[in-house]
Structure 1
Amino acid sequence: MIRFKRYPAIKLIAIASIGISASAAQAQDSRVPDMGKLTATGGVSQVEGAGGGGLTPWALITGYGTRDSYGANAHYTQVNTQDYRLKTYGVAVGIADRVEFSLAQQEFTGSLAPLNALNLKQDIFGVKVKLAGDAVYDQAGWMPQIAAGLQYKRDASVGGLGALGITNVKQLGAKDDHGIDYYVSATKIYLAQSLLVNGTVRMTKANQMGLLGFGGDKKDQYQAQLEGSIAYLINRKLVVGAEYRMKPRNLGVDNEKDFSDVFVAYFPTKNFSVTAAYVQLGDITIFNPKKQRGWYLSMQAGF
């Protein structure tokens, strides 16, 4: 259970979100979502559940509801490299094109000894609030759409390493098994050029997105990490792009590297999208110090 007294930033965003939600409910004349936003402008589901690209959140609010409506979706994502597999599934809701709530669970497993039985799980609760700008309709101005968000993450016990006496990420050097990422994203869409550009600054202590805990024997303070996306709309239904995500290096047992991908996303309708990518995740642990490369596939359904 999340205790808001311990996390004042969550409390502030939660209060703002409740107020925005109430205003949207009063303005909504129809119980049917209007799906008035342009195709693909809700983004896809990021690996931690937020609306955006595959690796990094965008300032766009998930779903296709306009400021007088709402939207929601569910997603399933799988990433396979030579030695590891990451599965993520969850749901997200966008209200009044202003606030977004998301819930996701990640499961990370290994296939190569000594980590062939490894099983890590993490639950993630996210909130994002649009602060200023409009990525789509403010084409004449220079200002991007700006949003701030947080992701509260909590690890389950470590599975598959019981023979080594390891059942918690703290035994790997992490300082904690739960933590919060804070981020600010800026997104600009250039309709005339069919181009989307996004930049995100994330304040984090997370090791491998939090799957290996938070903080470590090398560092235990928040660090600013940069994330970026660029996407080109070939047509209204097909998007290609690339992403890059910087990562902290807190643990002695994990020579963590930055993430990157090259992706293609297909939106046959506003109710469904599929995204495929080639990903590079770098080293995962010192026990298997190979650069991890592989494929990414994500499906999203909603309105």
Structure 2
Amino acid sequence: MSIAQRLLVKNNIDSLGDNINKLSQIFYRELFHIEIGLKEIFPGNVVFLNRKFANMLGTFKNMEHLEKISASIEKMGERHSQNYAVQLEHFEPIEQALMLALHEYFTDEFTLELETAWHSVFQEVTDIMKQAMGQVAHQPKAERLHDMLSYDTQLLDEVQGTEGVRKVHQRFYDVLFAEPWLGKFFYGKAKDVLVDKQTQFMVAAFGGENLYKGDTPAFVHMHMYVTDEMSDLRQQVLRQAILAEGHSDSIADRWLKVDDSFRASIVKNSVDECVLKCVGQMPVVAKKPENY
């Protein structure tokens, strides 16, 4: 990697200005399309995800001074291995998603020369991290996370595949649309479209074919004030839909375990945590009905 390539990447990052969060949104969308299981390494809401992405770009930007920051990159590799269960094979989908995001955001401005520079800088950073990761042992927290990254490979077959997932979601949204509190989130929405999207998303989350092309849960819900109480109620409705399709409590538990892994990216402690998509937009707040 040459000094010129480092400067190309630095200047490219500088050109983002205040639009870094837009690139972040594209990156996570592409990453979860490529490998949805990586949600466990990137938990949290959109603010958390944007901060993690900004930190990543900050490292690439400072590669201009590699000799001064190499020790910090080594420590970062150790932390990622010990605390977040990052594996060596995870760097490939992360790099792929980053390049797709850069291509989409910069379009024709993302030249072959610039792409080559990005690959070189990414490789230099990850080589240092990988070397450090190989010298540390996983901690219990990381081992638990690593287990969570593994798919429940039998679940999709046990619920009769994609069509079985779709039937559950049809029941699920029939109830949600009529629910006096949660139903407020669905005003003006097309039920069939939501059934299709949620089915594609969960089939991928169960380890099946990934046909989902939407944003990640954190970005889809970033302007919605969703509480833990709402999420608990939603899961009750989902459990009832699963059982109504003739599935066992055990299957419902396994399904809900996967579903609940996305909770941290959706639930907010206050309306102030909502992130608005455009100027003039208001947070979506569903007031709990009286005597509910």
Normalising by structure 2, we get a TM-score of 0.27
More strand by share: 1
Alignment TM-score, normalising by the size of structure 1: 0.27
Query: Whose Rg is larger?
Result: 2
Q: Which has the higher helix share?
A: 2
Structure showing greater relative contact order (alpha-carbon pairs closer than 8 Å, 6 or more residues apart): 2
